[in-house]
Amino acid sequence: MRQAKNQAERNRAAAKRAARPKVIRICQYREKKDGPICGIKFEAKPRIGKNGADYGVHPNQRYCPKHATPAARAHGRWLNRNVERYKAYAIDYRDRNLVSVRKKQRIAAKAKRDRVAATLAARPADWMKKPIEYRIIGGELTSIDGQMGNRELAQRLDLSRIIKCPYASTWTIALSGAGRAANYISDIRKWMKRPGKTLTTK
């Protein structure tokens, strides 16, 4: 008896939901602060409680299914944040933690000076006398801690598009084997004291 009654109640609720006109909204998601909105039309779904009660469509349901994710909503809140309040909070934080803030800044500044000093120390004495191609490729060779093979170097040079390869259409092609390009890189390696991986074919 009660089951039948509950079933009838659920059926009535479902019928009521079905009779309700669809709520079509336009997605309000923005990538940038004053950028265009996503603009996709979507059907806003009503909230249904555990007991089947229909709580209607929430006014805050403003994003299409693709953008109705926690990350997208958090991004929206970040764009709408009160910048003045954040700034005031940052200033207040600095005032209250001045000693530790200054200590952190000193450590960061020293780390930066050390990085610059290490970069300068790794350069040969005649650094400024060499052509700029030497300096760019030499800088690339020393940009990672370990060894950099010709293949990786070629990929980096092609991607950066700073220096066009004079030996072939790309550095990757020119450095795929022995030849003038490989000799050129070999000279720079000697100058920078950064040998490549030993070639198995010679």
Of 74 and 116, the one with the shorter C-beta distance to Zn ion is 74
- What is d(CA 187, CA 185) in angstroms, rounded to the nearest whole number? 5
Q: Does 64 bind Zn ion (CB under 5 A)?
A: yes
Q: Does 44 bind Zn ion (CB under 5 A)?
A: no
Among 44, 62, 67, 134, binds Zn ion (CB under 5 A): 67
Least distance to Zn ion, CB of residue 35, Å: 13
The DSSP bridge partners found for residue 41 are 26
Among 6, 8, 21, 27, binds Zn ion (CB under 5 A): 27
Q: Does 29 bind Zn ion (CB under 5 A)?
A: yes
| Torsion of the alpha carbons at 132, 138, 143 and 149, rounded to the nearest 10 | 130
Give counts: helices (H), strands (E), the chain: 8, 2
Among 38, 141, 154, 175, binds Zn ion (CB under 5 A): 38
Closest CA to 6 of 70, 53, 55, 58: 53
The DSSP bridge partners found for residue 42 are 25
Query: Site residues (CB under 5 A) for Zn ion?
Result: 27, 29, 38, 40, 64, 67
